[in-house]
Structure 1
Amino acid sequence: MLKLSILDQTPIPLGSSAQEELENTTKLAQIAERLGYHRFWVSEHHLETLGHSSPEILIPHIASHTSTIRVGSGGVMLPHYSAYKVAENFRLLEALYPGRIDLGVGRAPGGIPLATNALQEHKHTYHDTYEEQIKDLIYYLTGSQDPNHRFRGLKAMPDIDTKPTIWVLGSSGGSAGLASSNGISYAFAHFISGQHGGSVVSRYKQSFQPSEMQRTPASMIAFFLVCAETDEEAEQLATSIDVQFLQVAKGEKSDGILSPEQAIKYPFTPTDHQIVRENRNKMLVGSPETVKAKLETLSEEYNTDEFMLASIMHDFHAKVKSYQLLAKAFGLKD
């Protein structure tokens, strides 16, 4: 049986506020747990159209309002930070909510260059240390036993018996290679690239080297989701995300996610329609039956049993219904 998980980026619809949408994210996590979803992740994006950029702060709030669902980051943009501090944050989260914490990490900046410059203002080096940072995370989260590490003996506290699961997020062979060579989990961001990554995931599994973190490979694939009672209704709801992505691609200012009624009035050009068609490769749009069939096919193509789904809609109730319909179609929980 497929495992379904949720990534909520806390997008702010036009007319709403960050505070309201943060409340909705918490409500959605509680609903996801009742419906039988496997994980609930929150993201780091330094953008005005999203409700937050600090998953390490939102995770404990969500975990405290749920009881069984795994909670994690999708993801922490590691190059901005000290691997040691990230390890301390997530060791503490694991101590507070043992067996429920995922540490998803990514290389991307997660925002505009101005935000990146501010985040890295006092860094003395700007060369790529991402691979070293991942190794450092493993070092700190597994007890700091490597006698050759440059910070030999330094432990990330608290000193506990369990550890969060590390997931490398990416849409390329490079990130998959980092995950496989370090023996950690890999999440392929189909919803970012729009390109089929079956060969990337296959190479990750074939090249996987068992580690102190885990003995066997684990993969998941991420898509945007728009699910409704019918294919026609889903197509209508999807116009909101179509326009949002289009505005990002064109560098247009957005005051929030538009309703489908507002989005359909956007002055699309022929080029815009082409961009929309290309962006649809990042999404699963349709009725529960349509989306279920697509996921089952993708599961075979990717040879994976877990999908991470993100929904961007103007109406929170439509978003909730989207996840409810899919959970019912898969029989996640009666």
Structure 2
Amino acid sequence: MITLGVLDQVYISEGYGATEGLQQSTRLAQAVEELGYSRFWVSEHHSMPALAFSSPEVLIAHLAAATSRIRVGSGGIMLPHYSAYKVAENFRLLEALHPGRIDLGLGRAPGGMPLATKALQQDKYVDVNKYPQQVLDIIGYLHGSLPSGHPFEKLLASPSIPTAPEIWLLGSSGESARLAAMLGTSYAFAEFFGTPGGEQATKYYNEHFEPRDELPKQPRSMIATLAICAETEEEANRLAFSSDLLFLGIRTGLVVPYLPSVQTAENYPYTEADLMHIQQLRTRRIIGTPDQVKEKLIQMGQDYGAGEILITSPIYDEQARIHSYRLIAESFGMK
């Protein structure tokens, strides 16, 4: 059976502020932990008004402290912006505070517009081609296994602890899959981006995985997808209107500074081109009743050859969002 987790991008709902968005995320983490979900990941994006945060490591500390069993992690840290050493220190500290519960998802995308990238990398020369070496350095820091002759071979990424976070490489292309297979890390594909080629990417990863001493000996792949569930198809489709308008804005450049309410989304003056965009977006979404969502999630896991799926559910109403996760959990017999 597929293992299910949660990806929360912590949207600020229309009529609310960032503080309320963060409080809702905390309550969601607590709710899905009780429902039996395995992981709760938060992303990294910068200068995006619809999102309540930009620092996943800080939010992870809060969410892990507010829960007791669920794994909490980053989906992911945009590594080229940062020092591998500092990232390793941050996540070793998180692991020390919450042993066996921390995931370190890594990506190389900017996580924002060019101006935000310029500010993050101010006065630094950043070569994204060094990303593979940065990943190797993080593995070395977290496991005390930097190779002989490495310039920082004797450096301690404190605190010194016997366990390490799980390392996942994130991507929406075949290149990330090839890198994860070569480096021996776990691999997560962002299916909800709508980028084609995910099935081939995960297949390549699973077939070409090369184990590394410090990391899992078998390939471990996961996908993240958008799913919205309700008792009826009609209600699920109604709840999805909010994400339709939100992602339409992302695709077309329309500024939507919050997760819109269903009413706002219903009343928006869509053009024919807008409706075509939304129809295309919907082909990459799972929206429906518990039985329909379960069937599609199982099929998606088989198509991708993935043992885990992270579900993101940008539903405006907090209780409807939690209820969507509850219905999915019940359909899979989780607890």
CA contact 1:44–1:110 (8 Å) conserved in 2: yes
- Residue 89 (structure 2) pairs with residue 88 (structure 1): yes
Show the counterpart of 1:130.
Answer: 131
* TM norm structure 1: 0.97
- Looking at structure 1, the residues matched to 102 and 283 of structure 2 have their Cα atoms a distance apart, in angstroms, of 30
CA contact 1:195–1:281 (8 Å) conserved in 2: no
Q: 1:39 to 1:166 in 2, by over 3 A?
A: same
- Residue 23 (structure 2) pairs with residue 23 (structure 1): yes
Structure 1: runs of 5 or more not aligned: none
Show the counterpart of 1:174.
Answer: 175
- Looking at structure 1, the residues matched to 68 and 268 of structure 2 have their Cα atoms a distance apart, in angstroms, of 42
- Looking at structure 2, the residues matched to 281 and 291 of structure 1 have their Cα atoms a distance apart, in angstroms, of 14
CA contact 1:194–1:278 (8 Å) conserved in 2: no
Show the counterpart of 1:139.
Answer: 140
Show the counterpart of 1:193.
Answer: 194
Shift of 1:193: 3.1
Show the counterpart of 2:299.
Answer: 297
Q: Deviations along 1:21-41, whole A, 9 cap, x unmatched? A: 101101100001100000001
Q: Deviations along 1:253-301, whole A, 9 cap, x unmatched? A: 2231111122011111121112112212332111111110001111211
- Residue 55 (structure 2) pairs with residue 54 (structure 1): yes
Q: 1:255 to 1:200 in 2, by over 3 A?
A: closer
CA contact 1:144–1:153 (8 Å) conserved in 2: no
Select 2:234's aligned residue among 192, 214, 232.
Answer: 232
* Pairing 1:1-334 to 2, within 5 Å after superposition: 1-46=1-46, 47-211=48-212, 212-333=214-335
- Looking at structure 2, the residues matched to 145 and 73 of structure 1 have their Cα atoms a distance apart, in angstroms, of 23
Shift of 1:147: 0.2
CA contact 2:5–2:308 (8 Å) conserved in 1: yes
- Looking at structure 2, the residues matched to 296 and 77 of structure 1 have their Cα atoms a distance apart, in angstroms, of 30
- Looking at structure 2, the residues matched to 127 and 321 of structure 1 have their Cα atoms a distance apart, in angstroms, of 41
- Looking at structure 2, the residues matched to 300 and 205 of structure 1 have their Cα atoms a distance apart, in angstroms, of 13
CA contact 1:225–1:283 (8 Å) conserved in 2: yes
Q: 1:265 to 1:321 in 2, by over 3 A?
A: same
AA aligned to 2:239 is L
Shift of 1:127: 4.8
Q: 1:112 to 1:49 in 2, by over 3 A?
A: same
- Looking at structure 2, the residues matched to 273 and 24 of structure 1 have their Cα atoms a distance apart, in angstroms, of 30
Shift of 1:250: 2.0
Query: For 1:15, what is the secondary structure of its paired residue?
Result: coil
CA contact 1:194–1:281 (8 Å) conserved in 2: no
Task: Say what the alpha-carbon RMSD is for the aligned residues.
Answer: 1.2
- Looking at structure 1, the residues matched to 128 and 260 of structure 2 have their Cα atoms a distance apart, in angstroms, of 39
CA contact 1:194–1:282 (8 Å) conserved in 2: no
Shift of 1:128: 2.8
Structure 2: runs of 5 or more not aligned: none
Matched length: 333
Shift of 1:126: 4.0
* Over 3 Å off, 4+ runs: none
Q: Deviations along 1:195-244, whole A, 9 cap, x unmatched? A: 25112111101111111122111111110121111111111111111111
AA aligned to 1:32 is V
Q: Deviations along 1:55-94, whole A, 9 cap, x unmatched? A: 1001111111111100000111111100100000001111
Query: For 1:188, what is the secondary structure of its paired residue?
Result: strand
Query: For 2:240, what is the secondary structure of its paired residue?
Result: helix
Identity %: 50
* TM norm structure 2: 0.97
Shift of 1:304: 1.8
Shift of 1:194: 3.9
CA contact 2:108–2:128 (8 Å) conserved in 1: no
CA contact 2:60–2:74 (8 Å) conserved in 1: yes
